[in-house]
């Protein structure tokens, strides 16, 4: 039975009802900014640049659109990807359907992590971090290595077991770190930095056993990549299984497919193989040394013979030269030259003695003459002859005009002094004054 109709239904046009429904949808605040999780299907890109796809789960399907001005910021999308699309619910009235008008789409789970992986990979590749010429050679015979891993990791156990079997002489510095979890990336960075500061370490091995893509993602972070690139010594990356390739593998100086492979890489020869190779090389070196010594001994014998011959000839030439020099030297006997020089010196001494005597005699005669002249000019001698020295006020008087009348003067004689007063002055027989 149909329900009883109490009133006549309201009749409206299609546009009216679709407009009304759109108003209801756009007026709901909860639908204006919402994130919807689902799997992409029916993905397509219109020539206008708009992107269309459906989001579905097990029970429903939702149409989605991303306008062209937002589409260029989308990650790599494809059918089957799990995503979260953020936007608002709107109505497409011409098709009588509602849809999610998305402004952002994020990859979820592995898909999101893969997008982060690809973005970082492109960045580091653009910087040349993966270039072969940047990578350093692993030491051929390392004696001390640093293992950055977790003591509970199966990969670390495999590495240590194989390394002890193959090369027990290699010392391992174990640097404990988490290799999985939220804070694992930061701990791995700190572990690599600690390993790089250890003294005498030849190389660093960063190891972890297998796991899911999410479990290994700590090794796909930029922080871990930068720590490996900064390390001052070569780094070997041994993460997961052969099919697992991480960012750490790409930037490391050498990638090992597994931690066990890393042990073979660090110790490519067993201890027994090394000892056998060393013994073989020792034998070869001894054989080469004996051969070289024999060859050099023959060369030395020939050289000695040639040297002896040259020395004998040189000795003969020098003996002849010495005899010639002795003859020439006889003409220049120092004893003869010394006697001749003594004669010349004696003759020079005699001549010099006569010359000095003549000069001394002339000097004595000249001195006697000067002494006689000086004696005639001696004031004392002049006074002895009856002359006197007249002084006035302590000065010798040479002119009568210099002494006033009545002045007192002194006259020094040969014996004694006369004191007199001037009564009269005469100059050349004429009276003065």
Domain boundaries, the chain: 14-108, 137-268, 383-432
- Opening angle at CA 194, ends 191 and 199, nearest 5: 140
CATH 3.40.50.2300 fits 137-268, yes or no: yes
The two structure tokens encoding residue 76: 């790599």
Instruction: Count the alpha carbons within 13 Å of 371 in the hemisphere toward its beta carbon.
Output: 6
Predicted local confidence at residue 111, as pLDDT: 64
Instruction: Count the alpha carbons within 13 Å of 42 in the hemisphere toward its beta carbon.
Output: 11
Predicted local confidence at residue 1, as pLDDT: 47
Exposed, middle or buried: residue 135 (CB in 10 Å: 0-12, 13-18, 19+)? middle
Q: Do 137-268 and 14-108 fall under one CATH topology?
A: no
Q: What is the pLDDT of residues 246-303, one digit of tens each?
A: 999 999 999 999 999 999 999 887 777 677 767 778 888 888 888 888 888 888 888 8
Which comes out higher in pLDDT, residue 144 or 280? Answer: 144
Does pTM top 0.75 for this prediction?
no
227/204 Cα distance (integer angstroms): 12
State percent of the chain over pLDDT 70: 91
Sheet of 395-396: strand order equals 395-396, 389-392, 408-412, 417-421
- Opening angle at CA 55, ends 54 and 58, nearest 5: 125
Predicted local confidence at residue 6, as pLDDT: 62
Burial code (b: 16+ CB inside 10 Å, e: under 16) for 207-220 equals bbbbbeeebbbbbb
Number of CB atoms found within 10 A of residue 192's CB? 24
Mean pLDDT of the chain: 84
145/129 Cα distance (integer angstroms): 23
Exposed, middle or buried: residue 354 (CB in 10 Å: 0-12, 13-18, 19+)? exposed
State percent of the chain over pLDDT 90: 33
Q: What is the pLDDT of residues 368-413, one digit of tens each?
A: 888 777 776 667 767 667 778 888 888 888 888 788 888 888 888 8
Domain boundaries 14-108, CATH class: mainly beta
Which comes out higher in pLDDT, residue 116 or 206? Answer: 206
For residue 142, pLDDT beyond 50: yes
Predicted local confidence at residue 103, as pLDDT: 92
Question: Tell me, what DSSP letter sits at residue 50?
Answer: -
Q: Are 81 and 56 in contact (CB under 8 A)?
A: no
Phi-psi region of 109 (alpha: psi -120 to 50; beta: other; left: phi over 0): left
């Amino acid at each position: 039975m149909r329900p009883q109709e109490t009133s006549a239904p309201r009749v409206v046009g299609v546009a009216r009802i679709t407009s009304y429904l759109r108003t209801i949808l756009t007026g709901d605040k909860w639908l204006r900014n919402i994130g919807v999780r689902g799997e992409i299907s029916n993905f397509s890109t219109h020539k206008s640049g708009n992107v269309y796809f459906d989001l579905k789960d097990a029970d429903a399907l939702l149409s989605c659109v991303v306008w062209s001005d937002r589409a260029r910021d989308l990650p790599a999308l494809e059918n089957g990807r799990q995503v979260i699309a953020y936007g608002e619910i709107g109505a497409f009235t011409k098709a009588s359907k509602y849809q999610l008008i998305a402004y952002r789409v994020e990859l979820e789970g592995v898909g999101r992590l893969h997008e982060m992986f690809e973005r970082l990979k492109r960045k580091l590749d653009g910087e040349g971090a993966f270039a072969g010429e940047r990578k350093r050679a692993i030491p051929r015979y390392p004696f001390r290595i640093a293992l950055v891993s977790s003591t509970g990791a199966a990969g670390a156990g495999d590495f240590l077991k194989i390394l002890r079997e193959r090369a027990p002489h290699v010392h391992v510095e174990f640097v404990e770190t988490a290799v999985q979890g939220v804070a694992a990336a930061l701990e791995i960075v700190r572990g690599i930095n600690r390993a790089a500061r250890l003294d005498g370490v030849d190389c660093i091995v960063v190891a972890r056993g297998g796991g899911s893509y999410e479990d290994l993602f700590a090794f796909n972070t930029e922080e871990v990549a930068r720590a490996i690139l900064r390390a001052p010594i070569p780094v070997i990356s041994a993460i997961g299984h052969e099919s697992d390739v991480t960012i750490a593998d790409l930037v490391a100086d050498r990638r090992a497919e597994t931690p066990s492979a890393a042990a073979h890489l660090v110790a490519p020869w067993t201890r027994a193989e090394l000892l056998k190779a060393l013994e073989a090389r020792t034998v070869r070196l001894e054989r080469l040394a004996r051969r070289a010594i024999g060859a050099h001994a023959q060369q030395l014998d020939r050289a000695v013979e040639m040297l002896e011959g040259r020395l004998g000839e040189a000795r003969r030439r020098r003996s002849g030269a010495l005899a010639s020099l002795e003859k020439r030297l006889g003409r220049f006997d120092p004893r003869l030259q010394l006697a001749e020089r003594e004669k010349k010196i004696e003759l020079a001494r005699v001549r010099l003695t006569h010359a000095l005597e003549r000069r001394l005699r002339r000097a004595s005669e000249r001195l006697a003459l000067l002494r006689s002249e000086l004696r005639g000019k001696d004031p004392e001698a002049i006074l002895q002859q009856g002359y006197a020295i007249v002084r006035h006020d302590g000065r010798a008087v040479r002119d009568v005009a210099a002494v006033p009348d009545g002045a007192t003067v002194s006259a020094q004689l040969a014996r004694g002094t006369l004191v007199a007063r001037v009564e009269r002055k005469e100059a050349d027989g004429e009276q003065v004054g």
